[in-house]
Structure 1
Amino acid sequence: MIYDCAVVGGGVIGLSLAWRLALAGSRVIVVERQQLAREASWAGAGILPAGPRTNMEHPYDQLRAISSIRHAEWAEQLREDTGIDTGYRVCGGLHMARTPGESAALRGWRLQLDDEQIESLELSTDDLADSESAIASNELRCCLSLPDDAQLRNPWFLNALIAAGRRLSVEFRTDCEVRSIIRRGNQVTGLDTSDGTIQAGSYCFTTGAWTYPLLHGLSIRANIVPIRGQMILFRSEHVLTRRIINEGSRYLVPREDGRLLAGSSEEEAGYDKSTTDEILDSLRAFAESWLPDLRQAKIEASWAGLRPGSYDGFPYLDRLPDIDNAFIAAGHFRSGLYLSPATAENMAQWMLTGEPLISLDPFCLLRR
């Protein structure tokens, strides 16, 4: 069978893209080297920052804006189509600073928020204590409240995408490793896999941290490296806060059932997904410094995921150089789940019509 579209990689980007392609009537296959949705997509915390409403000249800000709107729409559509709740909730976020330098940076960031018409409010220590009694504020220098920050439950969202794809006859080929990409002239004509040859009219590589070695066989350099992020899952007898707590690159994400995620590290450790006592201890100390009641909470689990990091923090969203029917959508680093709707809609439009919805020039493979 020759498919209309082959999506290589079964994480959040690949699953989202497959769903959108299938909604447009395409015969789609997703090729995944292990089980679906088991890498960075599953391992993340599901934070969805508020998106801009104005000042969206740069395509990255357009991706943010589109995704922020679509997550709410997708949550409703996926629930209607599959019966699965994605866990999408507008819970609000708190952005904290402990030092004068961090405070200055946070207040400077607020100017950008104002420019983008993202609602924010600076809270005093007393304001925070009144609204969030479980949060320790003795070290607090500055706190911004962003009421439109949201979250979802990664596994629920991913399961909904898989179920929605299956309803539209998307084929999922798991435990299927792509050994090489078959190219003739300016066309990819097939994938040589551990489960035989797979052929399609067009291809998109959504292979995250594994993109560089896969495309290297085509002499295409996708500068993506794995960045390990470690996480802790606490389980408390009661909900300590309903808002996401952010401090720099670390965060606490509460769930409605009393669970709370603490993350995350950023380490260049190759493809090693093991956790380390040093990082887990530091994450626990970070979590308990803001929510002292976590000292009585149980640590239910800990894990690590490999984020696909590019050299400039932007994803690669492009047609492969000198190849007419193959594309890349990878390298989203910490924002893969957040940007998955806009990425999927743009790449699906590009694959089906020859043009994306917005300019994706800043995300080309050959950028410097």
Structure 2
Amino acid sequence: MLNQNVVIIGGGVIGLLTAFNLAPKVRSVTLLDRSLVGQESSWAGGGIVSPLYPWRYSPAVTALSHWSQDFYPRLAERLSAMTGIDPEVHKTGLYWLDLDDEAKALEWAARMQRPLTSVDISAVYDAVTVLGGGYSRAVHMADVANVRNPRLVKSLKAALMAMPNVVIREHCQVSGFVRDGNRVTGVRTEEGDVLGDNVVLAAGAWSGDLLSSLGLALPVEPVKGQMILYKCAADFLPSMILAKGRYAIPRRDGHVLIGSTLEHEGYDKTPTETALESLKASAIELIPALADAQVVGHWAGLRPGSPDGIPFIGPVPGHPGLWLNCGHYRNGLVLAPASCQLLTDLLMGETPIIDKTPYAPAGRLNG
């Protein structure tokens, strides 16, 4: 254990899991959130434990996602045992329908040794009897799971609150950094300065705004996404399905998520009628029976958009004591276990789980 205090800015799944990893290794962890923990993109996302189209991403994203996919079941079991709150890692598999780049997907799977296979469309209709008509081709990955992200956040928060050396401060907005020369020694809040030996910036879409106070330009921006939720029978949809960029995700209790939009609207996360109608149309095209189902939820969240979806993980050059774990774009929940373990390894001076180079802030910031 290192005799140091760590301050974490941001209480989404990245901040919470970073705190969870660091707490057993340092003297204290203080986690600050501008609102309530886990109420932004971590709550709003779908929770598929895979990038939507993994073969379209860089090897940097693939490396994080593979590590996380393999780790998630163990994490869920551990959190459930600690807190009694099951994050519900639900292994349903995923069918991609009528892909334009199916050959690329299968080549990627062969190269990466991932269990993605082409399947006869009749087999898909046999397996997913509620699927809409008109689809002609499919590929399937049987081991893809989804995590019930609101419960993951709730479980992580409960686990942290049970740790004697962790403090969670909600409704505590960080306005800037405390510095001793170039070294970052804490953060400024309306309630006073919070000091630490190391500060981790994990504020999602708001990370760039904070880093700009140091004269650094972090290319992370909010990207709005809207989703809708139906309540169906528990056995209504046996698998996740994805077509034309829209997906359906079944939860264990029969809730079915349909998502999502991609909108560049700044920090506005107001749900819109236009998106609602578009999502309903996609839902009915995928699963016609949803035309008679009630929408029980419609919301919007802000993803932390970043170039190529590659997160920033590691120390900020020229500002010792400051670390980044942000910019996960559409894959925060997917990449969280690996990202937070990598950040922990680097901060603690331990051997990193994967090559740190692609995620290093050095050379990727302007200022």
Asked if Structure 1 and Structure 2 have the same fold, meaning a TM-score greater than 0.5 normalized by the shorter chain, the answer is yes
Q: How does 1:193-212 map to 2 (within 5 A)?
A: 193-212=189-208
Verify: 1:80 aligned to 2:81, yes or no.
yes
Q: Which amino acid aligns with 1:73?
A: R
In the aligned structure 1, how far is the partner of 2:249 from the partner of 2:122? 22
Aligned counterpart, 1:159: 154
Q: 1:229-265 CA deviation, whole Å, 9 max, x = no partner? A: 0000111245321211112432110112221000001
Farther-moved stretch of structure 1 (17-26 vs 86-95): 17-26
Q: 1:114 to 1:352 in 2, by over 3 A?
A: same
Aligned counterpart, 1:305: 301
In the aligned structure 2, how far is the partner of 1:37 from the partner of 1:26? 24
Aligned counterpart, 1:179: 175
Gaps (5+ residues) in structure 1?
Answer: 52-56
Aligned counterpart, 2:348: 352
Verify: 1:139 aligned to 2:134, yes or no.
yes
Secondary structure at the aligned position of 1:160 is classed as helix
Q: Which amino acid aligns with 1:182?
A: V
Q: How does 1:215-226 map to 2 (within 5 A)?
A: 215-226=211-222
Q: How does 1:61-140 map to 2 (within 5 A)?
A: 61-97=62-98, 102-103=99-100, 105-136=101-132, 138-140=133-135
Q: How does 1:226-305 map to 2 (within 5 A)?
A: 226-237=222-233, 239-305=235-301
Post-superposition shift, 1:363?
1.8
Secondary structure at the aligned position of 1:262 is classed as strand
When normalised by structure 1's length, the TM-score is 0.92
In the aligned structure 1, how far is the partner of 2:241 from the partner of 2:45? 15
Secondary structure at the aligned position of 2:14 is classed as helix
Aligned counterpart, 1:60: 61
Q: 1:31-57 CA deviation, whole Å, 9 max, x = no partner? A: 111111110000001101299xxxxx9
Q: 1:238 to 1:15 in 2, by over 3 A?
A: closer
Post-superposition shift, 1:290?
1.5
In the aligned structure 1, how far is the partner of 2:152 from the partner of 2:335? 13
Post-superposition shift, 1:65?
1.9
In the aligned structure 2, how far is the partner of 1:349 from the partner of 1:289? 45
Secondary structure at the aligned position of 1:302 is classed as strand
**How many pairs are equivalent?**
356
Q: Which amino acid aligns with 1:162?
A: K
Runs of 4+ aligned structure 1 residues displaced above 3 Å come to 57-60, 354-357
Post-superposition shift, 1:3?
6.2
8 A Cα contact 2:51 2:334, kept in partner: no
8 A Cα contact 1:59 1:360, kept in partner: no
Q: Which amino acid aligns with 2:31?
A: V
8 A Cα contact 1:318 1:363, kept in partner: yes
Q: 1:268 to 1:314 in 2, by over 3 A?
A: same
Q: 1:269-297 CA deviation, whole Å, 9 max, x = no partner? A: 00000111111111111111111111111
Secondary structure at the aligned position of 1:48 is classed as coil
Q: Which amino acid aligns with 2:280?
A: R
Secondary structure at the aligned position of 2:91 is classed as coil
Gaps (5+ residues) in structure 2?
Answer: 53-57
In the aligned structure 2, how far is the partner of 1:24 from the partner of 1:168? 12
In the aligned structure 1, how far is the partner of 2:139 from the partner of 2:360? 34
Post-superposition shift, 1:313?
1.7
**Once the two structures are aligned, what percentage of the paired residues are identical?**
31
* Partner of residue 333 from structure 2, selected from 333, 337, 356: 337
8 A Cα contact 1:310 1:333, kept in partner: yes
8 A Cα contact 1:49 1:148, kept in partner: no
Aligned counterpart, 1:7: 8
Post-superposition shift, 1:140?
0.8
Verify: 1:190 aligned to 2:190, yes or no.
no
Farther-moved stretch of structure 1 (207-216 vs 229-238): 229-238
In the aligned structure 2, how far is the partner of 1:129 from the partner of 1:11? 38
Q: 1:43 to 1:50 in 2, by over 3 A?
A: closer
In the aligned structure 1, how far is the partner of 2:286 from the partner of 2:141? 18
Post-superposition shift, 1:190?
1.9
Secondary structure at the aligned position of 2:214 is classed as coil
Q: Which amino acid aligns with 2:34?
A: R
